[in-house]
C-alpha cells in the first residue's frame, strides 16, 4: 500500500484547519501558502473534502474553509479512504472486488485480511487531534 500525494496533502490540510479552527473560515490561498501546496492542486483536494462534508466553505470576502466537526471527530482512516482508491493490501480485498475463484484454497488470504484489518484499525485510531498533539510533543510523523 502506498499513500498518494493527494492523501498526504488532505491530511496536512485537515490538520492545518484544525490548528486554526478558532480563526473562522480560512482562505484557500492561506492554506496553500502555509502548506507549500499549489492552489490549483489544493482546490481538487478541498472539493473532495467539502463534498464529503468534512469541510464547509463560504465564497466571497471573508470566505474560505473550516472543519464541520471538532478535530477529535475525524480519523486519518476516514480522510485517507476519501482520497485513496483503496487502502487494501491486495486487489481481492479492495471494495467492490469480485470474489476470487481461489479464495477457498488460498493459504495467504487470512494473512492479507489480517493486514487489511490492522491497517484500517490503526488509521481509524488516530484522530486529527492526535496528529496535532504529536507535532506539539516533538513526535515527528511525516505525512
The total number of residues shown for the chain amounts to 143
Residue 46: what pLDDT?
A: 97
> What is the pLDDT at residue 139?
53
**Per-residue pLDDT of the chain in tens (143 residues, 90 and over written 9):** 789 999 999 999 999 999 999 999 999 999 999 999 999 999 999 999 999 999 999 998 888 999 999 999 999 999 999 999 889 999 889 888 888 888 889 999 999 999 999 999 999 999 999 999 875 544 555 44
pLDDT at 135: 59
Provide the pLDDT for residue 142. 45
pLDDT of residue 136: 56
Query: Strand runs (DSSP E) across 28-92, as ranges?
Result: 55-58, 64-67
Amino acid at each position: 500500500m502506498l499513500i498518494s500525494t493527494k492523501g498526504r496533502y488532505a491530511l496536512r490540510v485537515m490538520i492545518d484547519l484544525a490548528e486554526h479552527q478558532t480563526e473562522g473560515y480560512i482562505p484557500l490561498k492561506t492554506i496553500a501558502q502555509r502548506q507549500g501546496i499549489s492552489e490549483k492542486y489544493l482546490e481538487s483536494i478541498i472539493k473532495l473534502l467539502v463534498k464529503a462534508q468534512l469541510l464547509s466553505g463560504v465564497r466571497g470576502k471573508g470566505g474560505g474553509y473550516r472543519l464541520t466537526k471538532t478535530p477529535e471527530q475525524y480519523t486519518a482512516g476516514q480522510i485517507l479512504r476519501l482520497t485513496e482508491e483503496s487502502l487494501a493490501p491486495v486487489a481481492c480485498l479492495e471494495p467492490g472486488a469480485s470474489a476470487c475463484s481461489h479464495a477457498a484454497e488460498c493459504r495467504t488470504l487470512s494473512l492479507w485480511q489480517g493486514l487489511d484489518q490492522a491497517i484500517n484499525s490503526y488509521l481509524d485510531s488516530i484522530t486529527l487531534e492526535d496528529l496535532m498533539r504529536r507535532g506539539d510533543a516533538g513526535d515527528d510523523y511525516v505525512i
